């Protein structure tokens, strides 16, 4: 690693994408805001939302350069329906600012980049290229939900998105429950917000009455909540999930 090589900064974002904005200073440390203001090169999931984030930063801390002068590059995506992975060379090319000596910020649309996020490929490329990776503190919906659930925080696994097909989704839930029971391990999974309610109903249908199910919705937002109960408790006291607010689901089977 060269002394003149820049760093890849993993820049946390808020969790209010698509919702009323939470004040930036309530969810990001001052040091992170200062790092963000100093960056002139960015790799982001979405350029439009990234510019909105940087504008929020600029309201609290003067930017090193005007927003229109910043280099903002979107993460590469595979061609739709191609099934092909993005070539390694494309990820390596994004690191050129860091290799030239400039710090480079990696920003997801929400939460921590590279966690349940395609930015992980860029982090892997940085390690291969000898670019120092610096993760910065900020909200992670997965860990916040786990902490709020009261379920086992010593042993847990993230299963990502479950299948959309109803039969396959039920089978996946039953498999997660069996794994949880066998390993005594919390299982974490997510869904696109407009399918939150469908996933909740599938869980209440697939899981045993005594399995503990936790849902954290709208974390860090004023209307956010976390609820943990046995499946039979959810069935006895139903709760409809909002269709436009991200949720994190967790289960732990006895």
79 has pLDDT over 60: yes
Average the pLDDT over 93-119 and give the result: 94
Residues 6+ apart with CB under 8 A from 58: 37, 67
Fill in the DSSP letter of residue 71. Answer: E
Average the pLDDT over 72-89 and give the result: 82
Return the closest-CA partner of residue 224 out of 211, 212, 215. 215
Assess if residue 1 is contained within a domain.
no
Domain that holds residue 186: 141-252
Question: What distance in Å separates the CA atoms of residue 78 and residue 84, rounded to the nearest whole number?
Answer: 6
What pLDDT does residue 81 have?
62
Q: Contact at 8 Å (CB) between 254 and 210?
A: yes
- Looking at the fold, whether 83 and 148 belong to one and the same domain comes out as no
Angle, in degrees to the nearest 10, between helices 47-58 and 30-38: 120
Q: Contact at 8 Å (CB) between 103 and 9?
A: yes
CATH number of the CATH domain containing 113: 3.40.1010.10
Fill in the DSSP letter of residue 8. Answer: E
- Looking at the fold, whether 68 and 152 belong to one and the same domain comes out as no
The pTM score is 0.89
Question: What distance in Å separates the CA atoms of residue 217 and residue 235, rounded to the nearest whole number?
Answer: 18
Give the strand pairing for 186-190 and 156-161: parallel
Using CA atoms, how far residue 131 sits from 18, 99, 123, 142, 154, in Å, is 33, 7, 9, 27, 31
Structure tokens at 37: 């203001």
Using CA atoms, how far residue 82 sits from 74, 85, 237, in Å, is 19, 9, 45
CATH number of the CATH domain containing 150: 3.30.950.10
Q: Contact at 8 Å (CB) between 220 and 23?
A: no
Structure tokens at 204: 């209440």
What pLDDT does residue 77 have?
84
Q: Strands (DSSP E) along 18-167, which ranges? A: 41-44, 71-74, 104-107, 132-135, 156-161
Work out the number of other CB atoms within 10 angstroms of the CB of residue 12. 24
Assess if residue 2 is contained within a domain.
no
Burial (CB count <10 Å: 0-12, 13-18, 19+), residue 80: exposed
- Looking at the fold, whether 202 and 99 belong to one and the same domain comes out as no
Question: What distance in Å separates the CA atoms of residue 66 and residue 26, rounded to the nearest whole number?
Answer: 24
Using CA atoms, how far residue 7 sits from 47, 76, 96, 151, in Å, is 21, 20, 11, 36
Domain end among 135, 157, 181: 135
What pLDDT does residue 88 have?
87
What pLDDT does residue 3 have?
59
pLDDT in tens, 33-58: 999 999 999 999 999 999 999 999 99
What pLDDT does residue 21 have?
87
Average the pLDDT over 207-223 and give the result: 96
- Looking at the fold, whether 12 and 122 belong to one and the same domain comes out as yes
Fill in the DSSP letter of residue 68. Answer: G
Domain end among 84, 101, 135: 135
Domain end among 105, 135, 165: 135
85 has pLDDT over 70: yes
Average pLDDT of every residue of the chain: 94
Q: Contact at 8 Å (CB) between 9 and 34?
A: no
């Amino acid at each position: 690693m060269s002394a003149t090589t820049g760093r890849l900064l993993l820049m946390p974002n808020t969790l209010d994408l698509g919702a009323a904005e939470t004040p930036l200073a309530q969810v990001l440390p001052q040091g992170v805001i200062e790092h963000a203001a100093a960056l002139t090169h960015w790799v982001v999931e979405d350029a439009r939302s990234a510019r909105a984030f940087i504008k929020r930063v600029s309201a609290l801390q003067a930017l090193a350069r005007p927003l229109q002068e910043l280099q903002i590059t979107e993460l590469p995506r595979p061609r739709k329906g191609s099934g092909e992975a993005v070539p390694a060379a494309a990820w390596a090319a994004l690191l050129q600012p860091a290799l030239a000596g400039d710090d480079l910020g990696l920003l997801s649309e929400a939460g921590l980049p590279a966690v349940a996020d395609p930015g992980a490929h860029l982090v892997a490329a940085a390690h291969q290229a000898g670019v120092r990776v610096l993760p910065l503190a900020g909200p992670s919906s997965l860990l916040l939900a786990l902490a709020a659930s009261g379920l086992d925080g010593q042993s847990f696994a993230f299963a990502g998105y479950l299948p959309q097909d109803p039969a396959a989704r039920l089978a996946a839930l039953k498999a997660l429950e069996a794994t949880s029971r066998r390993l005594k391990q919390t299982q974490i999974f997510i869904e696109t917000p407009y399918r939150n309610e469908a996933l909740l109903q599938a869980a209440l249908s697939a899981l045993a009455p005594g399995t503990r199910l936790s849902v954290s919705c709208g974390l860090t937002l004023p209307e956010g909540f976390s609820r943990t109960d046995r499946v039979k408790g959810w069935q006895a006291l139903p709760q409809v999930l909002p269709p436009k607010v991200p949720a994190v689901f967790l289960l732990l089977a006895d």
